[in-house]
């Protein structure tokens, strides 16, 4: 495995994943290089949606493919937006409208605890019966006023009490060490590394 396609068109996500995969020496290509369209995500779990995206990208590119499915799960909303995080406020996708809807939904809630969750899957080929799967969670709280200019999605409202900042206020290097996506990807990378030395 020397080349890998990432099943995403999200610039922020591609940057984070590409940065974390650099040490493996893999040639990492976004799915846009192959004109691969986004696939439907009809499932009710992160893992099923991530596998659907990885298999679709592998089928269209003929390469191993890595995909993630991630979102923010809010305690007071029974885990919502969850798998619907990217389209929480409907189409077209809009971080601003998603955040506005989330803040409105929490207006009369006392519990603002939430966590980002990410599942990473890697298929070596489209019909891979043993995909590599890893996950990660990142706990914090939702605050009503946005803070910071970094990150994407819900990051300006995702507050980390132990650090006193939002995810959007973290330098990328620090975020890449502690985020849900980095936790999942670090575990995935370790599995890939072990497989490469066999």
Query: Could you list the active site residues?
Result: 69
Q: Is-contact 1 62, C-beta < 8 A?
A: no
| CA–CA dist 149, 139 (Å, integer) | 20
| CA–CA dist 71, 52 (Å, integer) | 16
Of 3, 15, 12, whose CA–CA distance to 151 is shortest? 12
- CA dihedral sign, ordered 95, 101, 104, 110: negative
| CA–CA dist 129, 152 (Å, integer) | 33
- CA dihedral sign, ordered 87, 92, 95, 99: negative
Check residue 76 and report its DSSP letter.
G
């Amino acid at each position: 495995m020397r080349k890998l396609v990432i099943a995403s068109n999200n610039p922020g996500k591609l940057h984070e994943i590409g940065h974390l995969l650099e040490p493996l020496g893999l040639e990492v290509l976004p799915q846009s290089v192959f004109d691969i369209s986004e696939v439907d995500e009809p499932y009710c779990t992160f893992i099923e949606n991530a596998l659907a995206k990885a298999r679709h990208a592998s089928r269209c590119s003929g390469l191993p493919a890595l995909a993630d499915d991630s979102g923010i799960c809010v305690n007071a909303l029974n885990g919502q937006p969850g798998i619907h995080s990217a389209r929480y406020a409907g189409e077209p996708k809009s971080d601003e409208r998603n955040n506005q809807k989330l803040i409105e939904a929490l207006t009369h809630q006392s519990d603002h605890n939430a966590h980002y969750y990410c599942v990473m899957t890697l298929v070596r080929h489209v019909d891979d019966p043993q995909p590599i799967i890893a996950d990660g969670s990142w706990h914090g709280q939702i605050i009503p006023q946005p803070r910071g200019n970094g990150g994407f999605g819900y990051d300006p409202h995702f507050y980390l009490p132990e650090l006193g900042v939002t995810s959007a206020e973290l330098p990328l290097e620090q975020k890449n060490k502690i985020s849900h996506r980095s936790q999942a990807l670090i575990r995935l990378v370790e599995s890939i590394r072990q497989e490469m030395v066999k």
